[in-house]
Amino acid sequence: MKIWIEDLKRHVDQHVEIMGWVFNTRSSGKIKFLELRDGTGILNCVFWEPTCGKELFEKFEQLTQESSVKVGGKVTRHPKRDELELQVTHFEILQSAHQYPISPKEHGVEFLMEHRHLWLRSRRQTAILRIRHELIKAISDFFDGRGFIRTDAPIFTPNACEGTTNLFETQYFDEKMYLSQSGQLYMEATAAALGKVYCFGPTFRAEKSKTRRHLIEFWMVEPEVAFHDMYDNMELAEQLVEYIVQRILTNRKEELRVLERDVTKLETVKAPFPRLHYREACDIIKRENPQFKVGDDFGAPDETIISSQFDRPVFVHHYPAAVKAFYMKEDPKDPGFVMGSDLLAPEGYGEIIGGGQREDNLEILERKIREHELNPEHFKWYTDLRRYGSFPHSGFGLGIERTLAWICGLPHVRETIPFPRLYGRSYP
């Protein structure tokens, strides 16, 4: 019976067949061990001449790293450790791998990135991908459980949401179109149809920069809620972040252990999160960076100064309108500042959420579109949302890869996505 390694515990004392790849081999004279990997787990396969026979015992020597094999035998409990093993009685090499490029020795990052399609097979990379899977599932469970409807935004957009720089352009038959940088504007339309909505998909920024925080192609979840103000929005964001972190801590202990993640840094991630007005945040920054000019946006080092003060993520709200996007609502009680907030992750991972309340006044919005030199024609549908039943509403975007880098404690976002697209890296 062909089974997966993850299902082994249901087959103790039975004869089973497993297909997979040679992860490692070792030998101690009379007994030989094959560490078999099938993608769902790693299994110790025991070759002992009296049970497997002389021929197989010798054939073991042909096993090379990452060769594909079919192994049969009896599932037994390890005499001492809480582990299952396979007592091999037959095996077959499906295809012999010769000189697998990634050996157990150290390799440089460029070499590993060039071999990303194989690097993904390592214990560390599969652990990250499993946590990524859990993160995505946790996010959809969070929103679906609260009655949100997923309404995917288009990738081809005639309008530039976050400004006209850093856009990828493509020829869409007879016209020029851009690849989406955010689904937010579209979520504002679907929020008016369905109340509580989100989209989840890839977004694109053509940034010519090589930093450990940026990908060219990254995934975002963007919820939008009708009749939520900026404070409801922060509450939703902190509930989401608490939920995903605590769920990964519960369900992905083993993977976090593989990554040697200090989980005490995640255990404290419980709502409510501290909230700083932009001005309070500036005071903190100026203590360590006297050059910082109040009114400016924060640089990465400034964000780190703020987040290092706290043991959980921290909101900064009421940024100056001048440094934020055209759609952000200015606070009538705090002129010049917007009703938006960013959430900064601890340990120097920077902004993982940006969001806030949207401008719902037609005249102000139309003026902002002109001031930002955007084409009003492209935004006709967007301003319609203020013509026909305008409503207070808020939402945010959470970047999957940066959030995952933080949760996993990775030094660079490049390992957080199966096939990263970076400035200067588009293969494989």
Q: Hey, which residues between 8 and 27 contact its own copies (CB under 8 A)?
A: 19, 21-22
Please identify, using beta-carbon distances, which residue of 177 and 282 lies nearer to its own copies: 177
Quick one: which of 216, 248, 325, 344 contacts its own copies (CB under 8 A)?
Answer: 216
Q: Is 296 in the site for its own copies (CB under 8 A)?
A: no
Output the smallest distance, CB 245 to its own copies, in A. 19
Residues in Cβ contact with 65 at an 8 Å cutoff, skipping those fewer than 6 apart: 22, 23, 24, 97, 100, 103
Q: Where are the alpha helices (DSSP H) in 317-361?
A: none
> 390, 386, 327: which is closest to 359 by C-alpha?
327
Output the smallest distance, CB 280 to its own copies, in A. 29
Q: How many residues bind its own copies (CB under 8 A)?
A: 95
Quick one: which of 155, 249, 263, 271 contacts its own copies (CB under 8 A)?
Answer: 155
Q: Identify the helix (H) or strand (E) that includes residue 67.
A: none
Residues in Cβ contact with 18 at an 8 Å cutoff, skipping those fewer than 6 apart: 2, 3, 4, 5, 36, 38, 43, 70, 71, 72, 86
Output the smallest distance, CB 40 to its own copies, in A. 5
- Evaluate the CA torsion angle 403, 406, 407, 412 in order and state its sign: positive
Q: Which stretch binds its own copies (CB under 8 A): 44-52, 90-98, 269-277, 317-325?
A: 90-98
Q: Is 268 in the site for its own copies (CB under 8 A)?
A: no
Q: Identify the helix (H) or strand (E) that includes residue 32.
A: strand 31-37
> 311, 309, 139, 284: which is closest to 221 by C-alpha?
139
> 352, 418, 410, 354: which is closest to 212 by C-alpha?
410
Q: Is 84 in the site for its own copies (CB under 8 A)?
A: no
Please identify, using beta-carbon distances, which residue of 240 and 285 lies nearer to its own copies: 240
Q: Is 90 in the site for its own copies (CB under 8 A)?
A: no
CA distance 107 to 223: 40
Q: Which stretch binds its own copies (CB under 8 A): 113-121, 263-271, 278-286, 315-323?
A: 113-121
Please identify, using beta-carbon distances, which residue of 153 and 305 lies nearer to its own copies: 153
Which phi and psi angles does 298 have, rounded to 5°?
-85, 140
Q: Which stretch binds its own copies (CB under 8 A): 121-129, 244-252, 277-285, 296-304?
A: 121-129
Output the smallest distance, CB 242 to its own copies, in A. 22
| DSSP helix/strand/coil, 90 | strand
Q: Is 153 in the site for its own copies (CB under 8 A)?
A: yes
Q: Which stretch binds its own copies (CB under 8 A): 131-139, 251-259, 280-288, 312-320?
A: 131-139
